[in-house]
Structure 1
Amino acid sequence: MTPPIAAVAFDKDGVTFDSERIYAESLLQTLVALPHPPADAQALVDACSGLSSAATAALLQQTLGVDVDMDAFFRRWFAQRDAIIATRGVPFMPGADTLIEALYAAGYPLALVTADDLDNLLADFQRCPQPELLQRFSVVITADDVARTKPDPEPYQRAAAYLGVAPEAMLVLEDSDVGAQAALAAGCPVFLLAADRQPAPQIAQAVRRIIHHHDAVREVLL
């Protein structure tokens, strides 16, 4: 028998914030500006989706070659990212802010689980329209809190343990295959937000539901 949902865990980039698009756009701009850009820069950007900073750096170094100074590359990438954020801010995904408030008001314990580090998470909330929403999450798990980040199950296992619920009772909202893989390996039910992409077939079959808007979560839980 499937246990009822007792808690909800949100991914950060692409689920809570519409920041995945900003990271991808700025990464693509940085890649194509290289003296010798990769043949398929967009495919490389897509492959980085959902990875931790360390895993992203490793993949970029492997693809671009040892002659590319990754420290300098990341500085250019983040300068490009910050220029976009300075113009647009860090917006919430459509419906994410109201869903967080509604779930909190309904008594669901909430976790925020990201492969990003704590400094970046705090910076995103400082630059978003409602920084106080961070207080709605009773548990925050970042790359700084785990030995192995997504796609390893450890982040979601820790989140469930800190919330005091079984993984099977913690609904995870993810947007990347890497994040969904982590949640599934932890034993959590997953709603995969796939507004503008097609998940891998094995992920699509394993998640509980593929959704295209946060309202789908409301329809199930509220």
Structure 2
Amino acid sequence: MTSGIPAVATGAADGPALEPRPVAAPELQAVLLDMDGTLVDTEGIWWEAEAAVFRELGFVLDEVHRAVVVGGPMTRSASYLIEVTGADITLADLTVRLNDRFTELIDGSVPMLPGARRLLTELAAHRVPTALVSASHRKVIDRVLRTIGAEHFRLTVAGDEMERTKPHPDPYLAAAAGLGADPARCVVIEDTPTGVAAGEAAGCPVVAVPSVAPIEPAAGRTVVPSLEEVDVPFLRRLISGKEPATRRSCRAIVPNE
């Protein structure tokens, strides 16, 4: 007696079982790099410029202020220094004087940090799109690019071209959009807590290379002692998830440790 329900064939007669399609790992779409203290050794030069300008105004800057102003946008750093010193100068005038003094100090060439030139050359060889994302003003960026090489970057983002700059995510979001990339597939390389905060707020994995101030390890953040630790396969593994973000982040790395 049959039930009237069609029998369902099973076994070899059905043919081979379908293999699940492999899911492609996320790919590295771009690398977004800070400038001062990350690619070029200029954080000390900025402090020298700030100290010189304030000496002319009659003030000696305490070293304690250095960690506060490092890596920040010019307006924030200048405002802070006016506040702590009580100097009789407007923010606009101080900004001009600081930028002018800095460009005087770097007239000629700027020292590249270890591993920076090799990394930029390797990114170009692998055709990985890159952007330079800095809180410095356009005038300063264009001067420093004479040393770094403008040809290494598809685009550059300057602090005075953004309504909000670091630690806000806007500069990194603008860079990713300009490259047509998903921020989650762009690695940000930074040297200061301010820059790291901007990259993470934009939703990017961040590689921190501390310069003046120490940077604590955190989820999604890899801390390395220098750019000599960073290459294209390493960056690709960060995006694919095959490189544990905590591999080099077991502790905070202090500059000049």
- Shorter chain as denominator, the TM-score bin is 0.7 to 0.9
Please give the residue correspondences for 1:85-164 in structure 2 after superposition, counting only pairs within 5 Å.
85-86=106-107, 89-126=109-146, 128=147, 133-164=149-180
Distance 2:160 2:235 in 1: 31
Is the contact between residue 42 and residue 110 of structure 2 (CA under 8 Å) also seen in structure 1? yes
Count of aligned pairs: 212
Q: Which amino acid aligns with 2:78?
A: A
SS class of match (2:106): helix
Structure 1: how far apart are the matches of 2:52 and 2:132?
29
Q: Which residue of 1 aligns with 2:228?
A: 215
Cα 1:108–1:36 change in 2 (3 A) is closer
What displacement does 1:140 show?
A: 1.1
Residue type of the alignment partner of 1:181? A
Deviation readout 1:148-199 (Å, 9 max, x if unpaired) = 1001100001111111111110000000111110000000000000156422
When the two structures are superposed, what TM-score results if normalisation uses the length of structure 2?
Answer: 0.73
* Equivalent-residue separation in structure 1 for 2:211 and 2:166 (angstroms): 21
Q: Which has the larger radius of gyration?
A: 2
Q: 2:65 aligned with 1:52, yes or no? A: no
- Show CA shifts across 1:10-53 (max 9, x none): 10111121111211233234445653435xx1121221111111
Report what 2:186 is aligned to.
170
Per-residue deviation, 1:107 = 1.4
Listed as ranges, the gaps of 5+ residues in structure 2 are 1-22, 237-257
What TM-score does the superposition give when structure 1 sets the normalisation length? 0.83
Once the two structures are aligned, what percentage of the paired residues are identical? 29
The structure-2 alpha-carbon separation of the partners of 1:63 and 1:206, relative to structure 1 and needing over 3 Å to count, comes to: farther
The structure carrying a bigger helix percent of its residues is: 1
Contact residue 39 and residue 113 of structure 2 kept, 8 A: yes
Distance in 2 of aligned mates of 1:83 and 1:109: 31
Find the aligned partners of 1:69 and 1:17 in 2 and give their Cα distance. Answer: 29
Structure 2 equivalent of residue 22 of structure 1: 45
Judged with a 3 Å threshold, the aligned counterparts in structure 2 of structure 1 residues 99 and 47 are, in CA distance, closer, same or farther, namely same
Structure 1: where are the runs of 5+ without partners?
Answer: none
User: 1:7 Cα shift?
Assistant: 1.1
Contact persistence 1:18–1:92 (CA under 8 A): yes
